[in-house]
Amino acid sequence: MELEKKINDLEKKLERYHSVYVFTIFFILFGLSFWLLVAISWIINMSNPLMISLIIASLIVFFCFVALILLLSLIFILKDDSKQD
């Protein structure tokens, strides 16, 4: 009985972590594709300094959001593990 409960808890935890990491990977791919579009347009218009600023700003914002999502997922994982103990 106790083993079944542990297995069920692990399955629920795995589902939750899987959805968090799938969302994180989707967000990373979306952000990288946006940055790639900006970089391609910058290559086409190399003389425009606004595009350079846009590329740098978009990279900074994108990696800050990725770090925030990974940090929040880590907090949720540690919070769930502390409830189990």
Structure confidence at residue 81 (pLDDT) = 61
Structure confidence at residue 13 (pLDDT) = 74
Structure confidence at residue 62 (pLDDT) = 78
Structure confidence at residue 47 (pLDDT) = 66
For the chain, how many structural domains are there in total? 1
The C-alpha atoms of residue 41 and residue 54 are separated, in whole angstroms, by 11
Question: Which stretches of the chain score pLDDT less than 70?
Answer: 42, 45-47, 80-85
Structure confidence at residue 25 (pLDDT) = 78
The alpha carbon torsion through 20, 24, 30, 36 (nearest 10 deg) reads -170
**Inside any domain, residue 85:** no
Q: CB neighbours of 24 closer than 8 A, spacing ≥ 6?
A: 66, 69, 70, 73
Answer yes or no: pTM beyond 0.95. Answer: no
Structure confidence at residue 84 (pLDDT) = 58
Q: At what angle do helices 49-84 and 2-44 cross, to 10 degrees?
A: 180
Q: What is the DSSP secondary-structure string of 30-82?
A: HHHHHHHHHHHHHHHTTT-HHHHHHHHHHHHHHHHHHHHHHHHHHHHHHHHHH
Full domain range(s) for residue 10: 2-80
**Inside any domain, residue 55:** yes
